[in-house]
């Protein structure tokens, strides 16, 4: 009986390890992540393998990992950074003490979570010969730098850049404040492509300028992106015309013809595209033009003046505005009309964040109704309209009047539209408008 009992107990202990193994194997198999992969290595140089030459490395493999290189003859690891999904890039400048040749092996390592993979590569044949590795510098230029715009700048969206220029060079792009030295591959002679995937914490605005660099030998050229990163199909609007359509102004020392550009939610104006025609004459070169407004001032003789203003935003959307006003001689001005003139500040001036004082001149004792509105825009995100002041002020015995307002949210670029109407018993009321901009 005792022998039989001992045999049962021994059999039970023999079964326990087997049972534990049977339970452990499936759990272990489920915990193993997929094996990472290394698919390719590209090496470029700006001066062969000479001391001071810069070697640029591009590795493609499983995304969201940590990649590094060991180059025989270089006594340190070269750490790569994932600049696009599954694309790891880095560079190394050769020192005098480095012992490197075309036969030096390159060992690439990629670690994803708790799994690692390694692969051995050889340097490209002829890389030590600068005449082979470096493109000729004659005609080095970038003909075009462009981007495929996205509908929304959000995490995960991919920005794809293209450079057209001299073939055989080395190209890269930067988005200042976001990412630097992103390599671009020459997919066809003279056509380089590269991509960047937006991260959650990137401070990326639609009009942020990206910069492309094309290198050949010890020379380099750059080009700044002239288009928006976002799709912008909405044309801008020209507002606050002065003089207004159909208005008659009395001839004085100078007549100011002006307007403001409104590209709410867009990428901003292309100031080089603005063209101003006054009575059929091109006065663009004599005008003050910014991304926010245009102004032309001249002593205009009495007569009728048609105005034609055309422009485009940075996305290529066009706008055109035409209107007509009259300039009359002082003797022909209606005496029953109230004079209304703003003396300070000047039209389209920039103001600080403190109280803004406005002064003007009108008929003695006239009442001036004032309204101040703030129009703020943050390109690509939102627009803000806010009424800051509604007030009636009385002109003194000399016709002088003044008032002030304080910006509530002094964001740079905010536009302040000030409307004034002066009236007096027995006289025709007169309107005037002043536009100011926040510094």
Give the residue-averaged pLDDT of 383-407.
86
pLDDT tier for residue 330 given thresholds of 50, 70 and 90: low
Integer Cα distance of 111 and 36 in angstroms: 7
- Model pLDDT for residues 331-372, shown as the tens digit of each residue: 544 455 778 888 889 888 888 888 999 999 888 888 999 999
Domains and CATH numbers, the chain: 38-132 (2.60.40.10), 135-224 (2.60.40), 233-332 (2.60.40.1220), 334-439 (2.60.40.10)
- Model pLDDT for residues 307-320, shown as the tens digit of each residue: 999 998 877 788 99
At 385 the pLDDT is 76
Instruction: Label each residue of 150-181 as H, E or C.
Output: ECCCCCCCEEEEEEEECCCCEEEEEECCCEEE
Give the residue-averaged pLDDT of 93-119.
88
Q: What percent of the chain has pLDDT over 70?
A: 84
Structure tokens at 283: 């006065």
At 356 the pLDDT is 92
8 A C-beta contact, residue 116 and residue 36? yes
At 13 the pLDDT is 35
At 21 the pLDDT is 34
Give the residue-averaged pLDDT of 382-388.
69
At 278 the pLDDT is 93
Residue 7 neighbours by CB under 8 Å, 6+ apart: none
Lowest mean pLDDT among 30-44, 124-138, 186-200, 325-339: 124-138
> What torsion, rounded to 10 degrees, do the Cα atoms 40, 43, 44, 50 define?
-170
pLDDT tier for residue 18 given thresholds of 50, 70 and 90: very low
Can you list the pairs that 299-306 forms with residues at least 24 positions away whose Cβ atoms lie under 8 Å?
A: 299/251, 299/253, 299/254, 299/255, 300/251, 300/255, 300/327, 301/251, 301/327, 302/251, 302/327, 302/328, 302/329, 302/332, 303/279, 303/327, 305/257, 305/278, 305/279, 306/278, 306/279, 306/280
pLDDT of 24 > 60? The answer is no
At 183 the pLDDT is 95
φ/ψ of 246, rounded to 5, equals 85, 0
Give the residue-averaged pLDDT of 293-305.
91
pLDDT tier for residue 27 given thresholds of 50, 70 and 90: very low
pLDDT of 384 > 70? The answer is no
pLDDT tier for residue 51 given thresholds of 50, 70 and 90: confident
Structure tokens at 234: 């909405």
Give the residue-averaged pLDDT of 417-422.
92
Mapped onto helix, strand or coil, the DSSP state of residue 281 is strand
At 306 the pLDDT is 94
At 176 the pLDDT is 84
pLDDT tier for residue 208 given thresholds of 50, 70 and 90: low
Integer Cα distance of 337 and 288 in angstroms: 31
Which carries the bigger pLDDT value, residue 46 or residue 195?
195
Ramachandran class of 209: left when φ > 0, alpha when ψ lies in -120 to 50, beta otherwise: beta
pLDDT of 29 > 90? The answer is no
Helix (H) or strand (E) holding 393: strand 382-394
Which carries the bigger pLDDT value, residue 387 or residue 410?
387
Instruction: For the chain, give the mean pLDDT.
Output: 81
Query: Of 323, 311, 224, 322, nearest to 266 (Cα)?
Result: 311
Give the residue-averaged pLDDT of 16-21.
35
Structure tokens at 118: 């390694």
**DSSP class of 62:** S
At 267 the pLDDT is 66
Query: Of 249, 419, 430, 401, nearest to 337 (Cα)?
Result: 430
Name the β-bridge partners of 38. 61
**DSSP class of 349:** -
Give the residue-averaged pLDDT of 27-36.
53
Q: Is the peptide bond before 151 cis (omega within 30 degrees of 0)?
A: no
pLDDT of 90 > 80? The answer is yes
* Number of neighbouring beta carbons within 10 Å of residue 377: 21
Give the residue-averaged pLDDT of 189-201.
91
Mapped onto helix, strand or coil, the DSSP state of residue 292 is coil
pLDDT tier for residue 206 given thresholds of 50, 70 and 90: low
Task: Give the sheet arrangement for strand 288-289, strand by strand.
Answer: 237-242, 255-262, 293-298, 288-289
**DSSP class of 74:** -
Give the residue-averaged pLDDT of 7-18.
38
Integer Cα distance of 105 and 119 in angstroms: 10
The pTM of the whole model exceeds 0.75: no
């Amino acid at each position: 009986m005792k022998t039989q009992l001992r045999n049962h107990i021994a059999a039970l202990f023999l079964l326990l390890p087997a049972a534990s193994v049977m339970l452990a194997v499936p759990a272990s198999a489920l915990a193993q992540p997929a094996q990472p992969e290394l698919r390719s290595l590209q090496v470029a140089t700006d001066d062969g393998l000479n001391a001071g030459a810069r070697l640029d490395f591009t590795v493609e493999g499983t995304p969201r990992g940590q990649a590094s290189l060991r180059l025989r003859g270089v006594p340190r690891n070269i750490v790569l950074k994932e600049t696009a999904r599954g694309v790891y890039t880095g560079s190394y400048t050769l020192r005098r003490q480095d012992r490197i040749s075309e036969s030096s092996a390159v060992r690439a390592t990629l670690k994803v979570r708790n799994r690692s993979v390694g692969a051995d590569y050889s340097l490209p044949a002829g890389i030590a010969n600068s005449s082979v590795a470096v493109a000729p510098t004659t005609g080095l230029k970038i003909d075009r730098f462009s981007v495929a715009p996205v509908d929304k700048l959000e995490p995960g969206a991919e920005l794809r850049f293209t450079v057209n220029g001299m073939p055989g060079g080395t190209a890269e792009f930067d988005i200042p404040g976001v990412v630097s030295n992103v390599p671009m591959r020459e997919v066809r002679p003279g056509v380089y492509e590269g991509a960047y995937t937006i991260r959650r914490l990137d401070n990326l605005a639609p009009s942020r300028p990206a910069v492309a660099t094309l290198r050949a030998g010890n020379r380099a050229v750059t080009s700044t992106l002239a288009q928006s990163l976002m799709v912008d199909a909405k044309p801008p609007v020209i507002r606050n015309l002065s003089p207004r359509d159909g208005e008659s102004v009395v001839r004085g020392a100078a007549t100011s013809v002006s307007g403001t550009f409104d590209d709410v939610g867009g990428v901003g104006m292309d100031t080089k595209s603005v063209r101003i025609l006054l009575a059929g004459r091109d006065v663009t070169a004599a005008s003050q033009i910014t991304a926010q407004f245009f102004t032309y001032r001249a002593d205009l003789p009495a007569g009728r003046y048609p105005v034609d203003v055309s422009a485009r935003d940075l996305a290529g959307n066009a706008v055109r505005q035409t209107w007509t006003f009259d300039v009359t001689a002082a003797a022909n001005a209606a005496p029953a009309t109230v004079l209304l003139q703003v003396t300070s500040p000047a039209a389209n001036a920039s103001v600080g964040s403190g109280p803004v004082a406005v002064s003007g001149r009108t008929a003695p004792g006239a009442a001036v109704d004032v309204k101040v509105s703030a129009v703020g825009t943050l390109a690509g995100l939102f627009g803000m309209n806010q009424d800051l002041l509604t007030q009636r002020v009385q002109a003194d015995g000399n016709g002088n009047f003044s008032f002030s307002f304080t910006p509530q949210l002094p964001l740079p670029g905010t536009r302040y539209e000030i409307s004034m109407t002066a009236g007096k018993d027995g006289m025709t009321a007169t309107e005037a408008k002043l536009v100011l901009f926040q510094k």
